[in-house]
Structure 1
Amino acid sequence: MPTLSPAIAEIRRAVRPALADLPDGAAVIVALSGGADSLALAAATAFEARSRGIRLISATIDHALQEGSADAAADAAAKAEALGIRSRVRRVEVRADADGPEAAAREARYAALRAIAAEEAAAAVLLGHTLDDQAETVLLGLARGSGTASLQGMAARREDEDGTVWLRPLLGVRRATTEAFCAASELSPWNDPHNTQHRYARVRVRENVLPVLEAELGPGVAEALARTAEQLREDAEAFDEMIHETIEDIVEHAEAGISVSVAALAANPAALRHRIIRLVAHSEFGASLSRSQTLEVARLVTDWTGQGPIDLPGCSAARRGARIVFTAH
């Protein structure tokens, strides 16, 4: 009996628990670009799904951003069919985005995957992000200085408000392992030309920043960054639980908005106070406050000198007596 490749064994082991919570016979989408990560994920999932009767559908998104994209998408679909996976290909329009082409392509891709999942009544969408992707995400978040939310990286499991479940089984697997999986399985992955173009920040992190960190600080930097993301995510979950327990007692509905007790905000540590302010603005008005905006609102509590209303995205915040009142524009 031939020996199973260690890479194949590792990725199958990573996929198995991700499928464990899904009902037998469920439909599952695997996002397939044709690259080594998604191809290894698709092949391992196809193997693990058989014993559970799980119906696997591959979804390949053609962003139409480079010449030959339709051919690359068709090739990925053909590889899925060869693995016994029913394939779907969807072409999307990537609109200009203030955050850059990467963000715009990601938004279009996730919207298409969400739509396909709804059409197939899928229990989950599997994504091929690896430990290397997680480390890159943490470094990019650190460079942006956008706080612990960015440093948490990507969640292994996330459920959207519309019920779409996203699973990332390979967050503990190195990219080199997915490449070894494909070699051992005689699969020929597609090499996305965008992955070598240095105008993209993620490519620069992958090819320049992480190798330098590994060379100067020693091996294990990527794993350390991934561990940091996991620990911060655990801390954030604990904070969120504390906030939701606290917020019920200190928030009241106000005319055209919502109000928060000044005394209660002042009694909480700064980290919790700031999270409450951000949560109120986001949940009530869909506003994502920057660090400086959050601190300005907090000053209405901790450094009140009679300042007027603070203009925020979608709303304003003002101190009125013993409460901070958020109202829509």
Structure 2
Amino acid sequence: MARRPRLLPVVGTARNLLLAGLAEVPGLQDLTARENRENRGDVGTDPEALPLVLVACSGGPDSLALAAVAVHLARTGRCRVGAVVVDHGLQPGSAEVADAAAAAVRELGLDPVEVRHVDVHREGMGPEAAARSARYTALDEAAARLGAAAVLLGHTLDDQAEQGLLGLARGSGTRSLAGMPARRGRYVRPFLELRREDTEAICDFHGLAPWQDPSNADPAFARSRVRTEVLPFLEEQLGPGIAQALARTARILGQDADHLEQLAAEAYATLRGADDDGSVLLPEEGLRALPAALRQRVLARAALELGAFQPRAERLRAAESLLERGGAAGPVQLGGKVSVHRQVRGRAVLRGDPSYGNLVLRNNRAGVKQSRRPTQE
């Protein structure tokens, strides 16, 4: 009888990281207990009744390694494991790559496996952001239709480090520098403590031949330059451990950002008012009383509620500066057709008008009633 190959240590580490990540998801907290019951022989659960976990798989080494690790959960009777492969259609032969990725994860034992072909519409976004938006839309739809409890993403520590450097280059705020969260809603990133070389080793252990995305080495993309030039240069000049340090910084900033956003959510709920035309009203005095870090987050929350993309820092600062004006001022465009202006009492605004003494945020898209245009001082 052939001996089973010895388990690669990083495979065991990856399994433990996966279990720890899923333990935070509602409905999946008892995965370890379920395995213990099976080992005692007292599990009689119908496999179809087990919760479903989906792997977002591109066929690259990170997501393919994640699929290989996740299928262990299905083999040990803890949950069902399927996959969704998203074809963005942005490269020649992308449909064939998607089909090959689907075939690879089916051979591993994942079920169900779906291939989703999407159209990437930029709508004012860059190519990477537009592809990300289309990808998450497809994943959301698949997860909702299949009733998945979680969707697994294969981002690694290296991805986190690259994200942090890109944020620094853009002059981003705390949330952007915090990188990618380990969990947000149904999305779980269990491999944020693994290096890219670890996922490649997992693929080798399972005899998998991952697809290598040519865009990862294309210097036309800033992320590719960070990956192939900037991080290696920093390692050479400053010594090893730069990627780990950047990831550690992201984790610390993530905790800070979570706390600030919780405080901002509470402040927004207290301050938010509404006009009869759908505008959001934020009282000036209440905004002035907030620390700048919370004030800008409250303004961003109002813009997002009205349908804007995440406003840039300079746009939020311009909106904030309306509070420093002596009279009616604005509008300032926050993106996504959302604008903000300062309304004060004057000849055009009667005493008691609901927008008096507030910053007024509104969506100017067609079909949304226009609020009064402020007079300039």
TM-score scaled by structure 2? 0.79
Gaps of 5+ in 1: 160-164
Aligned residue number for residue 143 of structure 1: 169
> 8 Å contact 2:328–2:341 — kept in the other structure?
no
Q: What is the CA deviation profile of residues 274-295 of structure 1, one whole-angstrom value per residue up to 9, with x for unaligned ones?
A: 2222222222453533222222
- Confirm whether residue 9 of structure 1 aligns to residue 12 of structure 2: yes
Q: CA deviation at 1:318?
A: 1.0
Aligned to 2:339: 315
Name 2:64's counterpart in structure 1: 39
- The letter for the 2-side match of 1:190 is W
Structure 2 CA distance for partners of 1:35 and 1:143, relative to 1, 3 Å: same
**Is 1:200 matched with 2:221?**
yes
Pairing 1:91-240 to 2, within 5 Å after superposition: 91-96=117-122, 98-159=124-185, 165-240=186-261
For 1:245 and 1:94, how far apart are their aligned partners in 2? 36
1:74 to 2:99 alignment:
yes
Amino acid at match of 1:279: R
CA distance in 2, matches of 1:322, 1:279: 19
Summarize deviations over 1:68-112 as a string: whole Å, max 9, x none. 322222221221122111222222223345433222222222222
1:69 partner amino acid? S
CA distance in 2, matches of 1:64, 1:274: 37
1:51 to 1:104, Cα distance in 2 relative to 1, 3 A: same
Output one character per residue of 1:228-276: Cα deviation in whole Å (capped at 9) or x when no partner.
Answer: 2111221111112212322333332234323222222222222122222
RMSD: 2.1
Indicate whether 1:325 and 2:360 are aligned: yes
Query: Residues 12-27 of structure 1 correspond to what in structure 2 (within 5 A)?
Result: 12-20=15-23, 21=25, 22-23=27-28, 25-27=50-52
Q: Which amino acid aligns with 1:326?
A: L
Higher RCO (CA < 8 A, seq sep 6+): 1
Instruction: For 2:309 and 2:261, locate their aligned partners in 1 and report how far apart those are by CA, in whole Å.
Output: 17
CA distance in 2, matches of 1:92, 1:248: 36
- The aligned counterpart of 1:162 is none
CA contact (8 A) 2:340 2:359 kept: no
Matched residue SS, 1:318: strand
For structure 2, the 5+ residue unaligned runs are: 32-49, 345-355, 365-377
SS at match of 2:329: coil
Number of residue pairs matched by the alignment? 323
Q: How far 1:135 moved relative to its partner?
A: 0.9
Give 1:288's aligned residue.
Answer: 310
1:270 aligns with: 292
Q: Is the 8 A contact 1:197 1:203 kept in 2?
A: yes
Match of 2:274 in 1: 253
- Identity of aligned pairs, percent? 42
CA contact (8 A) 2:64 2:210 kept: yes
Please tell me whether the aligned partners of residues 102 and 200 of structure 1 are also in contact (alpha carbons under 8 angstroms): no
Distance verdict in 2 for CA 1:153–1:304, change over 3 Å: same
